Amino acid sequence: MSAPSIHADAPPEVVCDPEGLQYETGPQLGKGGFAICHRAKLLGHEHLGSNTVALKIVKSKMEPAKLAQKFVTELQIHSKLAHPNIVEFYRAFSFRSSTYVVLELCENGSLADAIKKRRYFTMPEIRRFMIQTCGAIKYLHQRNIVHRDLKTGNLFLDENMNIKVGDFGLAALLVSQNDFGAIRRTTMCGTPNYLAPEVLEKTGRGHDEKVDLWAIGIMMYTLAVGRAPFHAPKREDIYRKLKAREYSWPALEKFSNEITDDLKDIVSCLLVAEDDRPSPDHIVGHPFFKLGYIPLQLDSSCAARVPKWS
Ligand code: ADP
């Protein structure tokens, strides 16, 4: 018999924080490798209107050192951030030996959930999502913070379909200077399909905020095509393909999404050696963003269905 999953455990009906705030737990929103997330209502604050939050419950059976490391980073970094396109961090606390993180609720789930339903996104939607993402990344990089795990599963959508970058469990604050005067990290982390080549190269030179720019290129391809550019069933094949930058675009006649040459060009500008990748400001200055339609707003139905532009 296999061990019971921790995800099967329902959270208490009411969770209390040390300041006396009470959260009534609701349906599960999703689960990740480290946590399970529930919708929750802050009791006694109904008059505030936005009293519904996302309550992240940390996997209690995780190896203590790993858990501590992930949550210390998440708390230290995420709690200090304030940007319209970053999931708002409200507080973290322990209750009956579980750790809880209270976050802004993103009603429309993640872009990864939406891709499963939609298969691909149109060029106007990608422009809107990526301009917002670039704004959040610029904000992080200006503060010497590298997200390091940017992927469609960590880009959430609020009730107005605005991007909210979340999950800062692998984020890093670049603090030490290396021999070249630049600040770099050497730990290998991230999700295989999104890893930048320099993370794989064990040269000891380390890597820096440029890994997030590579991930933006991977996300743009993924949003347009419905799968990552270097996707392969085996991890070794993903790594081989990404080292060789071996990817192709689906043939037009076999694919219903109209992928513009400008999108292909910006992706090819991002999937290059780290020093050649454009900054978030340069990315949004590319003709893909400058010359094409950008919707001022998107309807929630876009999380599940292709919109019709009138
Ligand atoms: P982990 O740290 O384990 O990777 P995640 O942060 O990815 O956990 O959260 C697990 C799942 O919970 C996500 O895939 C998503 O479905 C849901 N989730 C996380 N944060 C929010 C949020 N702020 N609003 C709505 N759903 C969320």
Cite the beta strand spans of the chain per DSSP E. Answer: 14-16, 22-31, 35-42, 52-58, 89-95, 98-104, 145-146, 155-157, 163-165, 172-173
Residue 285: helix, strand or coil by DSSP?
Answer: coil
Confidence (pLDDT) at 223: 97
SS3 of the chain: the string is: CCCCCHHHCCCCCEEECCCCCEEEEEEEEEECCCEEEEEEEECCCHHHCCCEEEEEEECCCCCHHHHHHHHHHHHHHHCCCCCCCECCEEEEEEECCEEEEEEECCCCCEHHHHHHHHCCCCHHHHHHHHHHHHHHHHHHHHCCEECCCCCHHHEEECCCCCEEECCCCCCEECCCECCCCCECECCCCCCHHHCCHHHHCCCCCCECCHHHHHHHHHHHHHHHHCCCCCCCCCHHHHHHHHHCCCCCCCCHHHCCCCCCHHHHHHHHHHCCCHHHCCCHHHHHCCHHHHHCCCCCCCCHHHHCCCCCCC
Cite the beta strand spans of 240-299 per DSSP E. Answer: none
For ligand 1, which residues put their CB under 6 angstroms from it?
Answer: 29-35, 37, 54, 87, 103-106, 109-110, 153, 156, 166-167, 169
Mode of pairing for the β-strands spanning 52-58 and 89-95: unpaired
Which ligand 1 atom lies nearest to the CA of residue 164?
23
User: Of the residues 29, 89, 115, 151, which should be mutated to test ligand 1's pocket, given the most ligand atoms within 8 Å of the CB?
Assistant: 29
| ipTM confidence score | 0.95
What residue's CA is closest to ligand 1, atom 19? 37
**Per the confidence metrics, is the pTM higher than 0.80?**
yes
CA of 245 to the centre of ligand 1 (A): 30
What residue's CA is closest to ligand 1, atom 1? 32
Confidence (pLDDT) at 198: 85
For tokens 């694919």, the residue is 255
Which ligand 1 atom lies nearest to the CA of residue 104?
23
Confidence (pLDDT) at 189: 64
For tokens 């692998």, the residue is 170
Confidence (pLDDT) at 310: 65
Confidence (pLDDT) at 289: 97
For tokens 């995800």, the residue is 7
Write b or e for each residue in 99-122: b if 16 or more Cβ atoms lie within 10 A of its Cβ, otherwise e: bbbbbbbbbbbbbbbbbeebebbb
pLDDT digits (tens, 9 = 90+) for 191-237: 889 989 888 776 655 568 999 999 999 999 999 999 999 999 999 99
Instruction: Please pick, among 113, 149, 208, 212, the residue that the annotation labels catalytic.
Output: 149
Mark the ranges of the chain whose per-residue pLDDT is less than 70.
Answer: 1-9, 46-49, 59-71, 173-190, 202-207, 310
- Is 9 one of the annotated active-site residues of the chain? no
Confidence (pLDDT) at 207: 60
Which ligand 1 atom lies nearest to the CA of residue 32?
3
